[in-house]
Amino acid sequence: MNQAAIYPPVPLAPDRKLFGLGIQRTMTLLATSTPKHRNTVRVLFYGQSITEQDWSRQVADWLRSTYPNANLIIENRAIGGHSSQLLWRTAEADLYPFQPDLLIFHVYGSHLDYEKIIRNVLERTTAEVLIQTDHITKPEELVDPATQPEPTMANWSAWWNQFFLPDLAKRLGHVELLNQRVLWRQYLNEKHLAPAQLLKDGVHLNDWGCYVMAKLVEQHLAYHPDEPKLWSSMVKDTKPKWDGNRLELNFIGNRVDLVPMDSDAGKNVRVLIDGQPPSAIPNLYGVTRVSPWPGTNWPLILRITAKNPLKIEDWTVSFHNVSEDGKSFSFDVAGSKTGPDGEGRSDKPFESSSGRVAIEPEDWNLAYCKAVFKSAIPTDLKATWTVVPHFIDLPVFPAITDPTEETVVTVAQGLSNGPHRLVLEAASDARPQLKAIRIYRPPLVPSAQ
């Protein structure tokens, strides 16, 4: 269905020449892809129920049709009903490990937790971020109120959209602000529409609203080849320089990729970072999103942390004596390799016997799921997750089956964003040539480092 033929078109913004300036690494990868060299571009939609809606699929389809030569990897990991107060916790499993090139982000909630998410993205990934202001939902929002420097309950929406989000983008950099609130208001006023005509309830978009939001996002995905490449320091390729069968490289960043050549197929290297194999570095282990409330994508536990180094295994939490509202329960924890690892209660901080599982009371999501979905809590309910490696100690380079797509082997992802020393050791009769060593350096460094 051609929605542009059904709904009044969204006019191009007069200042659109400024759109996209904060996401030019992504746009360069897209625009410079060719049939013979298809750049891989990872795009993540993240947020809550607004981001789950069909406009995000429309944008994904537009990207694929507009840039058919790019190798696009697009996912939507939004979780409805989860404001920034909850999403900063789920982002540990959902967002940072995905390592997007572009994050398209919208969420309601606490400005403090919103900024925490964006800062973490810029400290732990080389993603560019497109943040969306809120769309118009009420008739009184059709008139632009005065900007307020301090938030109150009465002016929260105006402060959030007119002051906080623009100021955040300006302060942090590497952030593209899509002021869709202004553009949405212009569209409604020009077409003499009421906000409700683009909504299916008080806030969620109907098909018309999804069409408008998709078009506003697409306008910001603009390529400016003549702009200074301010993003060039985030991801850099280094030409390998072997000394016999050993290669040493000092670098600053948090991720290392090896880019093999055709002739490297079947060859392998031993990887050391700061004198140890990547498997010995605790930061290089991650956890998957915890299993959901039945029939949904809402995780039963928002975040899993650990006090001691992890090992690759599956984990299970078994619930016992659960109250009807899901707020009170006991539980036990077991790992597929660690074995039974302790018991706890929902109202107390928990640390497993091995120190490989830590859960704060605020991380439990069972009561919220029960309150929203209202179905009975299964008597055999369990929460599960998996510890996954973000490293390879002894990579074996694969055969390159598609020469149009670059083969990349990530040997370490999640290092502290700072100085490190990489050593590669090869067998004397099978040293790989390697096309490049690619270093990722997030633009922000945590203040603790």
Asked if residue 445 is part of any domain, the answer here is no
CB 449 within 8 A of CB 127: no
Angle (nearest 5°) at CA 375 between 369 and 380: 85
Domain encompassing residue 410: 235-281+391-440
- The pair of structure tokens assigned to 244 is 């016999």
Identity of residue 106: H
Q: Which residue carries 């990887």 as its tokens?
A: 271
**Same domain membership, residue 348 and residue 333:** yes
**Same domain membership, residue 7 and residue 81:** yes
Look at the chain and report how many structural domains it folds into: 3
The total of other beta-carbon atoms located within 10 Å of residue 231's CB is 19
pLDDT of residue 147: 65
Per-residue pLDDT of the chain (449 residues; tens, 9 = 90+): 566 679 999 988 877 788 999 999 999 999 999 999 999 999 999 999 999 999 999 999 999 999 999 999 999 999 999 999 999 999 999 999 999 999 999 999 999 999 999 999 999 999 999 999 999 999 998 887 766 667 777 788 889 999 999 999 999 988 999 999 999 999 999 999 999 999 999 999 999 999 999 999 999 999 999 988 888 999 999 999 999 999 999 999 999 999 999 999 999 999 999 999 999 999 999 999 999 999 999 999 999 999 999 999 999 999 999 999 999 999 999 999 999 999 999 999 999 999 999 999 999 999 999 999 999 999 999 999 999 999 999 999 999 999 999 999 999 999 999 999 999 999 877 899 999 999 999 999 886 54
pLDDT of residue 151: 74
CB 273 within 8 A of CB 256: yes
Question: What span, in angstroms and rounded, lies between the C-alpha atoms of 14 and 23?
Answer: 19
CB 398 within 8 A of CB 407: yes
**Same domain membership, residue 406 and residue 377:** no
Paired residues of 387 in beta bridges? 287
Start-to-end C-alpha separation, the chain: 52
pLDDT of residue 449: 45
**Same domain membership, residue 114 and residue 246:** no
Q: Closest Cα to residue 246, out of 272, 267, 266?
A: 272
Q: What is the CA radius of gyration of the chain?
A: 24
As a whole number of angstroms, the longest Cα–Cα distance in the chain is: 74
| DSSP secondary structure, 120-136, as one string | HHHHH---EEEEEPPPP
Asked if residue 226 is part of any domain, the answer here is no
Asked if residue 446 is part of any domain, the answer here is no
Asked if residue 10 is part of any domain, the answer here is yes
DSSP helix/strand/coil, 200: coil
**Same domain membership, residue 303 and residue 268:** no
CB 74 within 8 A of CB 287: no
Domain finish residue from 356, 371, 389: 389
